Amino acid sequence: MQIETARLILREYTLDDFDALYEIVSDAETMRHYPKPFDEARTKNWIEWNLKNYAEYGFGLWAVVLKETQEFIGDCGITMQNIDGEMLPEIGYHIHKKYWRRGFGSEAAKAVRDWAFENTKYDCLYSYMKYTNVGSYSTAAAIGMKKIKEYPDEKNGVSYAYAITRGEWEELKKMKEALIIIDVQNDYFPGGACELYNAYEAEKKIQSLIKESRAQKRPVVYVQHINPPEENFFLEGTHGCEISERIKPLPGDKIIVKFYPNSFHKTELDSYLKENGIKKLIVCGMMTHMCVDTTVRAAMDYGYEVELVADACATMDLEISGEIIPAQIVQKTFLASLKDVFAKIV
């Protein structure tokens, strides 16, 4: 059995995972919400317990490894746990502390959640944790679970229980999306004041995204940049500042006017998206290295899931210390820096 995500592979444990697991579960900081860190015997038993779970239930805690390097960084999966007197299917997760706060726990747990609802008959999945374990209940919330109770627990003193139902998961899969088109304005095209590399090619892809979005009733949001008078492009009232006629907004489309690279900064973008229940952004536009990059990074801070369409973005040559960095390299470098952590690159 194997589950793959953008950055991770979840696979069954083997006894060869002992050393890598022991490094994690013997660490006092990692295990501070457990009665005590694991010794070697407890670590071996942990692996053997999961091997038995695979045989009995068809699931258990799976080893989590980085797809790029195959490094073992923890485990995540489903086990049957006693939650306030009931044996219930529980999603658990343990990630090596050097990989904390990088989204690996929630990425793995989301994949396990989806696998469980797609491959088992359970109508509700749970996670429980010691009341002091902020990281654990934050991960539970990140995969759509809600706190359903807190109860006295001999092991934890007080435990919190989180849960997500199959119906809630189905609704989550229908997460409302919006197409965000950033700064596709005349000055970026040949003859404009700030011509970009491959602007027309990116625009053609954007045209197809608009067509697809309108067919699917997906909101289309245009972002238009206005520069201060001392700049030489995107000057208010000029033809160069106008949105390209070839992708022009239709009545009812939202237009966000911005004055900073970040499309959220001092604009109504976040409030508009939240008012309309939009949680996932499909982003495209110009320039990849400036306003697209800044907006995508900010979107994560605001809690949005982002899909960035690589060939629907354009950039330009950059210069540093007299050296010219070609636009093709700029494009690849900025997309690579956003990949997985800030956005899914498609």
Identify the active-site residue in 110, 291, 293, 313. 291
Contact 317, 197 (CB under 8 A): yes
Q: What is d(CA 193, CA 211) in angstroms, rounded to the nearest whole number?
A: 28
Q: What is d(CA 124, CA 184) in angstroms, rounded to the nearest whole number?
A: 45
Task: Please state whether beta strands 318-320 and 323-325 pair in parallel, antiparallel, or not at all (unpaired).
Answer: antiparallel
Q: What is d(CA 185, CA 13) in angstroms, rounded to the nearest whole number?
A: 53
Is residue 183 flagged as an active site residue?
A: yes
H/E/C letters for each residue in 238-258? CHHHCECHHHCCCCCCEEEEE
Residue whose structure tokens are 């520069």: 227
Q: Got the DSSP string for 159-209?
A: EEEEEEEHHHHHHHHT-EEEEEEE--BGGGSTTSTT--BTHHHHHHHHHHH
Is residue 146 flagged as an active site residue?
A: no
Q: What residues are paired with 254 via a beta bridge?
A: 221
Q: What is d(CA 223, CA 188) in angstroms, rounded to the nearest whole number?
A: 14
User: N- to C-terminal Cα distance for the chain?
Assistant: 26
Identify the active-site residue in 76, 258, 284, 313. 258
Would you state the structure tokens that stand for residue 108, as one six-digit string?
Answer: 């793995």
Q: What is d(CA 290, CA 234) in angstroms, rounded to the nearest whole number?
A: 14
Identify the active-site residue in 17, 153, 183, 293. 183
Q: What is d(CA 256, CA 258) in angstroms, rounded to the nearest whole number?
A: 6
CB proximity list for 220: less than 8 A, separation 6 or greater? 178, 179, 181, 210, 213, 214, 249, 250, 253, 254
Task: Please state whether beta strands 176-182 and 8-11 pair in parallel, antiparallel, or not at all (unpaired).
Answer: unpaired
Contact 77, 62 (CB under 8 A): yes
> Active-site positions?
183, 258, 291
